[in-house]
């Protein structure tokens, strides 16, 4: 009687074990069928390289056994599963193609060397040099292309003048931009289409401005106070929500990663060094090269696309401003006057009859 009772009690567990074994057999049969299907798919694409074939094999391998949950008509499902796998494979290949197309650098970030002799120290230096070289290349290209599109430019500016008079300042700008922008952390650098296209978009926007009359004003205190039309004020106000949203994203991201205080200190230091000493001057002119340079280097979260895109757009602003109008000083004529007086330049004609003593005259400030 005891044995009969035990056998009766164990019967559900035995039945469950048998059911599990049957399900496992079905799963193994299913996996074998999928492997055979993969082999047929691979044979249809035998013209591709072995590396691509191995990548597809890895993508098509089932990550976990499929629980059929009972008897199924395998013959009816084979066609649908094969179609699904083919479409999945095509979508993966298409995604891989676009990633390679947009995120493949035009030049490698590896350290150039001959044998065991390196020409520069580390990948950091390579990325900085690439950033500087690509900036000068794009400045030259934009400078040559813009005259075919519009006359709204500095028509007396020559490319050699940018290189001779502004070249060293441009290198200093780019070095600060690179360091504050943490650009060495970008795994892909900047010479790929995913970054360059945003810079091109910035140039397209600024070259379309001549076709909109109300945009033909600069962001100076005098222009804003006296000459901005109402359409320009409406345009500027419509940008405020978008700008506020981008700023919020950066603040929230910095807070979430525990670096908000660091970012605030970076912004404050840049304001102290580059803006506050200049802002009180009536000659203060917010050139768009300066605005792009100042804003772009703080959009430095390299692991999110919207921050990289904003950095690239601001970099394009900098390139456009320098290529089309030159790297004009933020204090405009006041800075030029200071240099001329300080260097006692003879073209000022501010000397006495003997030419030995300079006459000190203050510069006339703009009358608003």
- Residue 326 · residue 157 · CB < 8 Å: yes
Q: How far apart are CA 187 and CA 194, in angstroms?
A: 13
Those residues whose C-beta lies under 8 Å from the C-beta of residue 347, and which sit 6 or more positions away, are 340
Give residue 199's pLDDT: 92
C-alpha torsion angle, residues 276, 282, 286, 290 (rounded to 10): -50
Give residue 86's pLDDT: 65
Give residue 120's pLDDT: 87
Give residue 252's pLDDT: 94
Q: Would you give the DSSP letter of residue 181?
A: T
Instruction: Kindly state the tokens that stand for 345.
Output: 């330049």
Give residue 224's pLDDT: 80
- Residue 68 · residue 26 · CB < 8 Å: yes
Q: How far apart are CA 2 and CA 9, in angstroms?
A: 11
Give residue 81's pLDDT: 61
Q: What is the pLDDT along the chain (368 residues), one digit of tens a residue?
A: 566 555 566 566 656 667 777 777 777 777 777 666 666 655 544 444 444 444 444 444 444 444 444 445 555 555 566 666 666 777 777 777 777 777 788 888 888 888 888 888 888 899 999 999 999 999 999 999 999 888 888 888 999 999 999 999 999 999 999 999 999 888 777 888 888 999 999 999 888 888 888 887 777 677 888 888 888 888 888 888 888 999 999 999 999 999 999 999 999 999 999 999 998 888 888 898 999 999 999 999 988 989 999 999 999 999 999 999 999 999 988 898 888 888 877 777 654 444 445 555 556 666 65
Q: Would you give the DSSP letter of residue 220?
A: B
* DSSP code per residue over 353-364: TTS-SBPP-PPP
User: Rounded to the nearest 5°, which phi and psi values hold at 113?
Assistant: -155, 160
Please list, residue by residue across 215-233, b when 16 or more beta carbons sit within 10 angstroms of its beta carbon and e when fewer do.
eeeebbbeeeeeebeeebe
- Alpha carbon distance, N-terminus to C-terminus of the chain: 112
User: Rounded to the nearest 5°, which phi and psi values hold at 126?
Assistant: -60, -45
Instruction: Kindly state the tokens that stand for 303.
Output: 């692991």
Helix (DSSP H) and strand (DSSP E) numbers for the chain: 12, 2
Q: Would you give the DSSP letter of residue 348?
A: G
Number of residues that this document lists for the chain: 368
* DSSP code per residue over 31-78: HHHHHHHHHHHHHHTTTS-HHHHHHHHHHHS-SS-----S---HHHHH
């Amino acid at each position: 009687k005891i044995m009969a009772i035990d056998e009766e009690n164990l019967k559900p567990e035995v039945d469950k074990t048998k059911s599990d074994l049957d399900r496992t057999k079905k799963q193994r049969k299913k996996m074998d069928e999928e492997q055979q299907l993969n082999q047929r798919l691979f044979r249809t694409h035998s013209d591709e390289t072995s590396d691509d074939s191995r990548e597809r094999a890895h993508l098509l391998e089932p990550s976990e056994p499929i629980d059929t949950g009972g008897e199924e008509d395998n013959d009816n499902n084979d066609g649908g599963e094969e179609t699904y796998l083919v479409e999945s494979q095509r979508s993966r290949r298409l995604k891989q193609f676009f990633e390679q197309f947009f995120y493949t650098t035009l030049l490698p970030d590896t350290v150039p060397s001959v044998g065991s002799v390196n020409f520069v120290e580390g990948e950091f230096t390579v990325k900085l040099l690439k950033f500087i070289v690509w900036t000068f290349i794009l400045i030259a290209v934009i400078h040559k292309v813009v005259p075919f599109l519009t006359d709204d430019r500095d028509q007396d500016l020559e490319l050699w003048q940018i290189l001779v008079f502004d070249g060293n300042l441009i290198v200093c700008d780019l070095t600060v931009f690179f360091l504050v922008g943490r650009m060495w952390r970008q795994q892909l650098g900047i010479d790929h289409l995913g970054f360059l296209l945003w810079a091109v978009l910035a140039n397209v926007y600024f070259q379309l401005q001549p076709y909109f009359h109300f945009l033909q004003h600069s962001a100076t205190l005098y222009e804003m106070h006296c000459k901005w039309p109402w359409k320009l004020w409406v345009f500027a106000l419509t940008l405020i929500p978008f700008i506020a949203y981008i700023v919020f994203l950066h603040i929230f991201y910095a807070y979430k990663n525990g670096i908000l205080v660091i970012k605030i200190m970076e912004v404050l230091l840049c304001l102290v060094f580059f803006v506050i000493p200049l802002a009180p001057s009536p000659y203060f002119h917010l050139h768009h090269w300066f605005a792009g340079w100042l804003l772009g280097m703080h959009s430095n979260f390299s692991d999110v696309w919207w921050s990289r895109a904003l950095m690239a757009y601001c970099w394009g602003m900098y390139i456009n401003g320098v290529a089309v109008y030159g790297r004009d000083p933020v204090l405009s004529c006041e800075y030029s006057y200071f240099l001329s007086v300080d260097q006692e330049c003879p073209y000022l004609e501010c000397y006495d009859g003997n030419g030995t003593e300079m006459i000190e005259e203050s510069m006339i400030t703009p009358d608003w």
